[in-house]
Structure 1
Amino acid sequence: MTATSVTPVFAVGDKVEILRSQNTKDTNYNGTVAEITGFSTKGWLKLKCHDGKSATLKPDWVSLKQSAPVETEAEVDEVEAPVVEAEAEAAEVVIAAEPVSDEVQSKTPPEPEVATEDKSIGYFKFSCNSALFAKTIAQVRRVIRTMSIHPILSNVKITADAETRRVEMVGFDLSLGVITSFLATEVPVGGSYTIAVSILSDILSQLPEGTITLERNESSPKAKLTTANGVFEISGIDAYDFPALPIPTTNVTTLKVTSKLLRVGCGSTLYATSTDQTKMVLCGAHMVFRPEGKFEIAATDGHRLALYRADINSATNIETDQHLTVPARSLHEVERYLAKDEAMIEISYESSNSSGPSIVQFKLEEATIVTRLLEGDYPKYNELIPKKFQREIWVERLPLIGSIGRLAVLAALKTYLVKISVEAKKITLYSEDDDTGSGTEAIPAEVSGEDIKIAFNIKYISEALKSIATQEVAIKVNGPATPVICTPLNGYDIVALIMPVQLRS
């Protein structure tokens, strides 16, 4: 015989222990004892808490602590026992619940419908512009893994605030989280719910621009999207199961940099990060903040190195160098929001142990991004950069990139090389393959030092040149088997280091 669980029958006056509060962030009521003062028509328990405030909770969110004393008929005649109603000013918490059995409902008098209140977990309603909603949810969708082992992490958490009329959306994969919001037209009922992001985003992206309404109430476990021409019902999960983002709260250090500084830093380095998960620390970019107001960001995959250095031009309030290794995926997400050059970006982190920070938060104009940092010692990249060079080449960047791209068509797939012959007043590029053919191009250049022949992996030299956004670049060389660096002329402090490919005689 299969065992079945039995929901206890509660009565007015029973003492119950609250096992789970409505708000996961406010656990003050968990473990406290409350008294049942009545029931809703849905069979939910109305409670008077220890501090005098009232709450309405699901029957399975409490445990019977003490039954009310049984009254005799004489006692009932002598004492009139009205149901204790919540005081008008008391904050009432409403939770969506499954109806209890008919037996329980038959023993209790009818009660008015429970009104939903702002910031309830399950219910909300707001109206907004469809294009604005679609744009905002598309930003959050990028960080959500639709095939997560935790179903709720495939959802977007939507919170509507009736006071501010702001609708906040959160996407989180336990490593990277994005919080963004927009201003709704109206928010009659505030609250939170989570909805499958892929379904909601796909519907919104195909709607014509106009006013739409998204709501969820006690009449249905699904969210209802009402448009000018139809209605969609989308399944979701209550928001109290959605994990909280690890926002830095204790021992927090906050640094400010301009949007332009961070955008140039990311754009000139992230291409060099590794994709090899066995070397996890190399899958991120290493950021260093120095007390004297210096900033640098570096990335390497073991074959090349990218480095950007700049002055922060603002007070740092730090006494020692601060090191943060941020996953490349997270910085790519930050990069999407770095539009206005002079906008200030707040970078906050907390040092929870001796090994350094574990969480960092980027507070941007349109979003807040929280990410876990990569652990491990980052390579001492400054020691890899040669101090002196025997040869230096000054050349226009775009013609060189174009020439390399054309020769790449003929490059052998196995080696994918371009050979460069450095001579006075020009450099000659050459590529060949037995199956596809060969090609040669010459580009004017200013050369200092002796002639040399050198070869590069086409991908490495192309990405290094593309990361430097100046008209001319300097290519500094010592020998055919030593590190080569590319730097901008009259521009940012950027170093792109690549190792040449050693050719057989």
Structure 2
Amino acid sequence: MKFTIAKADFIKVLQRIQGIVEKRNTMPILANVLLDASDGKITIMATDLEVFIKDSSPAKVTEESSVTVNARKLFEIVKELPGDIIDVASGKDDKVTLKAGKARFNVMGLPSKDFPVFPAIDETVMKELDAETFREMIDKTSFAVSTDETRYNINGFLLESGSGRVRMVATDGHRLALISREGISIDAGSKEGVLLPRKGVMEMKKVLDEKEGTFLLGITQKNAVIKRDNTIIITRLLEGEFPDYSRVIPKDNDKDAIAVRGDLLSSLKRVSLLSTDKIKGVKFNFSNSKLVLASSSPDIGEATEEVDVEYPYGELDIAFNARYFIDMLEALSDEKVRISLKDPLSPGVLRPVNGEDYTYIIMPMRL
């Protein structure tokens, strides 16, 4: 294998795959990136067996072949090579040589035949979607995804489509985030919804973050795939059943408090500084068109702050995890938010004042 490539192009495709490469030493080949030089381009592939990525970049190919080499080390070398052009070659011993200016690196590789096969793609299920819309749906729900690996069915996002609307839902059992968008749909086959793993979705989002425009999304029985320009990412779907989120959303929270989002966010950040590090609990006291936030830590002290709100009801004391509440407020961009409550032991609901497309549920705490 021999090819010449612009350093900037090589860095771009190698950087894109770094988050997918397997970091654990379970299978040495998974720490590698597959380099395939053919048809006037270099194609790269990486996987951890759950997420697969394929990308390509123009190159001057003088000898077609393929090889695998350590992805992290290759990326580090390419970034530090001098000049703007890099010559890459490999021989029968799978050793990869990189030359630029007066620098030369020889890096041991592994045979490309040992690299996992990239899954086949069914182009017929691909649908064109707006990148900004899908990116927004991820941003407004990703903070609620569970990181508890024993609860695999909530280690990702539920994606549903029907009646010209797409919903994305995430929960960790303490909070739930839901966003829906009208006028778009996906083809999930016979399934009402699919479970997308967090890692795969966040890697997809990196590609969507690069520019505005559209991309292709497809769902099969086992995988979800996105395609944008030369980049293809495939992620295995999670197995299991997502909780019935419709049962979690309170229907009878009849006490609404309306607050300026930025003011509440700033106050909550300040007051939470003196909450205990482990549980981050903050008391919310609603009464007479005001909200008093309070926190305390036995070893440090206490803090209170008053926030103006619209609240024409009797006094209500409730406590929430400040970090969870802050996450919800930061995910929104609306000027005002509506906090719907029932009593100190029932979940709170947070929505924008002007819209029902976002719904956030947060469980109360006992303090």
Range into which the TM-score falls when normalised by the shorter chain: over 0.9
SS across alignment from 2:150:
helix
The code of the aligned residue for 1:206 comes to E
Q: Which deviates the most, 145-154 or 297-306?
A: 145-154
The 8 Å contact of residues 166 and 184 in structure 2, kept in 1 or not, is answered as no
Structure 2: 5+ residue runs without aligned partners?
A: none
> Does 2:340 match 1:476?
yes
Is the CA contact (8 Å cut-off) linking 1:411 and 1:431 kept in structure 2?
yes
Amino acid at match of 2:54: I
The CA deviation at 1:317 is 6.6
Find out whether 1:277 has 2:160 as its counterpart.
Answer: no
Deviation at 1:202, TM superposition (A): 1.1
C-alpha change, 1:204 and 1:312, in structure 2 (3 Å) is: farther
Report deviation, 1:195.
Answer: 0.7
Structure having the higher Rg:
1
Cα displacement (A) at 1:217: 3.1
Among residues 347, 370, 373, which one is paired with 2:217 in the alignment? 347
Change (3 A) 1:498 1:134: same
Q: Match of 1:148?
A: 25
Partner amino acid, structure 2, of 1:371 = T
Where 2:20 maps in the other structure, the secondary structure is coil
Q: Look up the equivalent residue of 1:377 and give its one-letter code.
A: E
Number of equivalenced pairs: 367
The residue number in structure 2 matching 1:109 is none
Partner of 1:268: 140
1:454 aligned onto 2:328? no
Which residue among 285, 293, 297 is the counterpart of 1:429? 293
Q: What residue number does 1:192 align with?
A: 66
Kept after mapping to 2: 8 A contact 1:155/1:194: yes
Judging by fraction of residues, say which structure has more helix: 2
**Residues 392-471 of structure 1 mapped to structure 2, 5 A cutoff:** 392-471=256-335
2:102 & 2:356 partners in 1: Cα distance?
53
Pairing 1:289-300 to 2, within 5 Å after superposition: 289-290=161-162, 292-300=163-171
User: Corresponding residue for 2:115?
Assistant: 242
Q: Secondary structure at the match of 1:389?
A: coil
Counterpart contact for 2:217–2:224, Cα < 8 Å: yes
Matched ranges for 1:247-396 at <5 A: 247-249=120-122, 253-290=125-162, 292-313=163-184, 322-339=192-209, 343-350=213-220, 357-365=221-229, 367-396=231-260
* Cα distance in 2, alignment partners of residues 239 and 181 from structure 1: 17
Instruction: Report what 1:216 is aligned to.
Output: 90
SS of aligned partner of 1:445: strand
Q: How does 1:123-138 map to 2 (within 5 A)?
A: 124-138=1-15
The DSSP-based 3-state class of the residue aligned with 1:278 is coil
Q: Distance in 2 between matches of 1:458 and 1:233?
A: 52
Identical counterparts, % of pairs = 28
- 1:179 and 1:460 map into 2 onto residues whose CA distance is 36
**Residues 174-213 of structure 1: per-residue CA shift (max 9 Å, x gap):** 11111122222x2222221111112111112223451111
**Which protein has greater RCO, CA pairs closer than 8 Å, 6+ apart?**
2
CA RMSD of aligned residues (A): 2.1
1:394/1:246 CA distance change after superposition, 3 Å: same
Distance 1:448 1:389, change over 3 A: farther
Task: Give 3-state SS (helix, strand or coil) of 2:242's partner.
Answer: coil
TM-score scaled by length of structure 1: 0.69
When normalised by structure 2's length, the TM-score is: 0.93
* Alpha carbons 1:155, 1:171 under 8 Å: kept: yes
Aligned equivalents of 2:255 and 2:114: distance in 1? 62
